[in-house]
Amino acid sequence: MTARQVPQLTEPRPSPPLSVTSGRIDSGLEVMAVRRDGAPLVQLRLSVPFAGDGEAHLAKARLLAESMLAGTERRGADELAAALQSLGGELSARVDPDRLTISGEALAAGLPDLLGILAEVLTEASYPSDDVVGERNRLVEDVRMSRSQPSVLAQEALLRRMFGAHPYGRELPETDQVAMVSPEQVRSLHRDGVVPAGSVLVLVGDIVPSAAFDQVATTLAAWRPSGTAPRAPEMPPLDPGPTVLVDRPGSVQSSIRIGGPGLGRAHPDYAALQLANMVFGGYFSSRLVENIREDKGYTYSPYSTLHHASAGSTIRILADVANEVTAPALLEIGYELGRVATLPVRAEELESARQYAIGSLALATATQSGLAGILLQLATSGLDAEWLQAQPRRLAEVTVDQILEQSRRFLAPSGMVTVVLGDAIAVEPSMRTLGDVVKG
């Protein structure tokens, strides 16, 4: 067959400038309203700093998120949900170790009412005792279900290994902690913790930003309890050591999880680390995927990612592999980490990762919900839309030497920790041929 010529790329077209109105309203809430026409919708994201120490906080925070929309002083859960639905909308709340995030959408014409419902929930959520108790039982069951998933168990094992007793060491509450939370404790957490100071509200869609901003300022004016936003304490330094094996009898795969420190988006070396991670395992055309999937067939979906939290960023590597190739997969992952940390990447590898990173930003911000999500993430790290506009230029300037420098700092296997969730009888002997293994 004659090889045909792969077409060249044409001149790129820049993303259109964003029309943004942003600022802080009297209560201390940061507001960012952005026009992105397209669907006749508006996307809403509200992020409230919500860190706390200990298992009790985690249990209370989760239950608060589950029952936040269970009623207000003026109406019950059914009516609230029906009102949202009438706007073509939905609203939901979730918590992570740093934040409470309320997300929703509605037909753009419904924005005033959507904000009205949000304000009602923020200022008047009543946490009816019956509903909270019902949600509590549901949460206990939900946690139990989550812990039956190997992906959740593996994630928990990695977080324990990386963070120990730090609040980032756990994402799921213990069921006995959940069972002890009272409705009054949830109400009190809402009163003290759901505060505008340090919070960010992002609106993106078929809206007029200045008018939307004014609507927020008016409608959310009554949400103004004082209080300071708690932040997670500093992350503990990583303590590298032997691979941790968590036994899951009967498992037909091993869930390999590797983690170590990283850099946040605001750091001057972030673009270089982002590309280093990409070359290693951050996208399909990476060394990790081409090696253990496309060459060896050990796994379906291995990847490496940068995870950002308030107190710091981390790198996490994930691969689920068949029992019999657990040790060989660990060997190959270690090899690829060592290779990227000690030898320069090829120029075309850097170029490919660079173009992918730049293109991904354009793709991710091309939808209303994608743009809202990214702006929220930026805003909660103290960054804004300007970071988005400037990031392609920063990526364009990264050199092969900078990649090697960041890989040496953050991708060297000696600076990372490894946990494996799998059937110990099946995988431990061959894992021991590679080095020390401790049971976790």
- When the beta carbons of 61 and 115 are compared against other proteins, the nearer one is 115
State which residue, 57 or 293, has the beta carbon closest to other proteins: 293
CB nearer to other proteins: pick between 218 and 414? 218
Is 109 a binding residue for other proteins by CB under 8 A? The answer is yes
Q: Is 439 in the site for other proteins (CB under 8 A)?
A: no
Q: Which of 49, 97, 150, 373 binds other proteins (CB under 8 A)?
A: 150
Give the strand order in the sheet containing 417-422.
Answer: 303-309, 312-322, 253-261, 417-422, 243-247, 437-439
The least distance separating other proteins from the CB of residue 305, rounded to whole angstroms, comes to 15
Site for other proteins in 38-77 (CB under 8 A): 38-41, 69, 74-75, 77
H/E element, 107: strand 99-107
Specify whether the CB–CB gap between 29 and 39 falls below 8 A.
Answer: no
Residue 229 or 321: which CB sits closer to other proteins?
A: 321
Which 3 state secondary structure label does DSSP give 300? coil
CB count, 10 Å around CB of 265? Answer: 17
Q: Which of 30, 66, 131, 332 binds other proteins (CB under 8 A)?
A: 131
Of 266 and 300, which CB lies nearer to other proteins in the complex structure?
A: 300
Burial of 323 (0-12, 13-18, 19+ CB in 10 A): middle
CA 337 to each of CA 124, 182, 294, 333: distance values in angstroms, whole numbers, following the listed order: 52, 48, 18, 6
Q: How far is CA 168 from CA 29, 233, 315, in A?
A: 25, 9, 14
Shortest distance (Å) from residue 52 CB to other proteins: 25
Binding mask 318-337 for other proteins (x = CB under 8 A): --xxx---------------
Please answer whether residues 345 and 400 qualify as being in contact, where contact means their C-beta atoms are separated by less than 8 angstroms: yes
Residue ranges with strand state E in 248-311: 253-261, 303-309
CB of residue 153 to other proteins, shortest distance in Å: 10
Residue with smaller CB distance to other proteins, 246 or 309: 246
Q: Which of 242, 359, 429, 435 binds other proteins (CB under 8 A)?
A: 359
- Site size for other proteins, by CB under 8 A? 106
Q: How far is the CB of 188 from other proteins (least distance, A)?
A: 21
Given the complex with other proteins, which of 4 and 237 has the nearer CB atom?
4
How far apart, in whole angstroms, are the C-alpha atoms of residue 164 and residue 162? Answer: 6
Closest CB to other proteins among 2 and 433? 2
4 touches other proteins by CB under 8 A: yes
Full 3-state SS string of 114-167: HHHHHHHHHHHECCCHHHHHHHHHHHHHHHHHHCCCHHHHHHHHHHHHHHCCCH
* CB of residue 109 to other proteins, shortest distance in Å: 5
Site string for other proteins, 270-299 (x = CB under 8 A): -------------xxx----x--xxxxxxx
Residue 272 CB coordination number (10 Å): 27
Residue closer to other proteins (CB basis): 140 or 232? 140
Nearest CB to other proteins, comparing residues 56 and 133: 133
Q: Which 300-319 positions form the footprint of other proteins (CB under 8 A)?
A: 300-301
Q: Residue 62: exposed, middle, or buried by beta-carbon count in 10 A (0-12, 13-18, 19+)?
A: buried
Closest contact distance (angstroms) between CB of 297 and other proteins is 3
Q: Which of 134, 225, 227, 264 binds other proteins (CB under 8 A)?
A: 134
Using CB under 8 A as the binding rule, the residues of this chain from 398 to 437 that contact other proteins are none
Q: How many helices (H) and strands (E) does the chain have?
A: 16, 12
Figure out which of the listed residues 29, 84, 158, 275 binds other proteins, where binding follows CB under 8 A: 84
Among positions 53, 54, 144, 382, the unique one binding other proteins when judged by CB under 8 A: 144
Rounded Cα distance between 60 and 180, Å, is 9
Question: Which one, 51 or 245, has the nearer CB to other proteins?
Answer: 245
Tokens 């992105």, located at residue: 36
Phi-psi region of 264 (alpha: psi -120 to 50; beta: other; left: phi over 0): beta
Q: Residue 400 is encoded by which pair of tokens?
A: 């092969």
Instruction: Name the residue with tokens 């019950």.
Output: 76
Q: Is 377 helix (H, G, I), strand (E, B) or coil?
A: helix
Per CB under 8 A, contacts with other proteins among 193-252 are 215, 218-222, 249-252
